[in-house]
A = this chain, B = another copy of it.
Amino acid sequence: MNAEIIAVGSELLLGQIVNTNARFLSQQLAGLGINVYFHTVVGDNPDRLKSAIEIAQKRAEIIIFSGGLGPTKDDLTKETIARQLGKELVIDETALASIELFFKRTNRVMTENNRKQALVLAGSHILPNDHGMAPGMVVESGGHTYMLLPGPPKEMEPMFLRYGTQALSTRNKSNERIVSRVLRFFGIGEAALETEIIDLIDAQSNPTIAPLAGDGEVTLRLTAKHVDENAAQAMLDELEKTINQRLGAFLYGYDNTSLLIEVMKSLKERNLTITAAESLTGGLFQQELTSISGASSVFYGGIVCYSNEVKRQLLDVQEETLKTHGAVSEQCARELAENASKVFKTDIGISFTGVAGPEELEGKPVGTIYIGIAIKGKPTIVEKITLGGTREANRSRAVKFGCYFLLRILKESQNAN
């Protein structure tokens, strides 16, 4: 069974808003075992909407519309579909009563065009709108299922979850469940990762394997179909095991996580606190750490040490170090990490020093970065990395590498215990 999602609204074609409805509905449909092969966005124009419907009728069994159910002139989804299917629009008395009630409750005057929102396709199954006025609807015609949903996500999402999924599941005759799992990797490029598992990718059918790269990370989305959800999960377990035998060293998490979230989890589990001395990253590590609610249990504060003067005065980096090796050096990264953890009285100090770009520094090329990690009772580790991106990318990548190295050390020391 497959579906197409048609979002109606000129504001999407002007780039005023982004089509989050298509994303939400796609996620939900995947969970229901319904394939989505196309998204379409069309403006508030009856001829173009009609042509979009005709195209969708040729390639999808279920057609889901979002938007164009409102009270104004340019809201024409219902009207266009009614004409296309040869159906009447009739007033739904329940919807009308609920619209009238809404105006009464908010002490507002109901204008005539608000009645338009209570018009529904004759013979359709109504999806109540618990968060707004325009009702949704589902109608069967010529072997297709048409579902009409309002545009505002605050109305559409709860309507789909509460009433829409039920309406669709009665149509799903195969009863197949689709289960997905995202594996997140760091420290390996997309091409290199694919090379390691090219035989699995070539042979894939069920489960499928979809690689995706972005922001210096690579993910693999594994998707299995089975009538029994547990069986689908077991298929994913099996495939994941095979993949991890080859790539496990680079795997850092699952689904909606991030390297920073994993660092935070890891510190909390071990009751460890951390501080940072950031030169080229300018506060990015601390900013991202504190963007996670609850950071205060592992982080009290830290320093942005942009100039050598601040490195010397506040973090006690030796004059000699700066003179002999420079700020972009292993020695400086080591002193920054160790001294920061002393100043802020934490278990761990992490430091970032390097050349973000666009100009080279101390004769060292753009992308030269040292990351220091000082953990109480262990020898301090300094990793050197060489990046090739823009200033922004180098800073963001440096923070990710810092998290990656730190996670590795925390895991290793756990295994050693």
Let me know if B286 and A191 touch, CB within 8 A. no
Q: Binding site of A, secondary structure by majority: helix, strand, loop or mixed?
A: mixed
Closest to A20 in B: B18
- CB of A318 within 8 A of chain B? no
- Per-position binary interface string of chain A over residues 14-33, scored 1 when its CB falls under 8 Å from any chain B CB and 0 otherwise: 11111110111111111000
- CB of A310 within 8 A of chain B? yes
- CB of A131 within 8 A of chain B? yes
Which residues 71-95 in A have Cβ within 8 Å of B in the complex? 71-74
| Number of A residues with CB within 8 Å of any CB on chain B | 113
A residues lining the B interface (CB < 8 Å): 10-20, 22-30, 36-45, 48, 51-52, 55, 59, 70-74, 102, 105-109, 111, 113-114, 130-131, 152, 154, 180, 182, 189-192, 194-195, 198, 201-202, 210-215, 221, 223, 278, 281-287, 289-291, 293, 295-296, 299-307, 309-310, 314, 343-344, 357-359, 367, 386-393, 395
Q: Interface centre among A189, A191, A221, by most B CB within 10 Å?
A: A191
B-side contacts of A303, CB under 8 Å: 301-304
Assembly CA distance A387 to B340 (angstroms): 33
Let me know if B388 and A221 touch, CB within 8 A. no
Shortest CB-to-CB span from A196 to chain B, Å, is: 10
Shortest CB-to-CB span from A324 to chain B, Å, is: 21
B-side contacts of A283, CB under 8 Å: 278, 282-287, 290, 302, 304
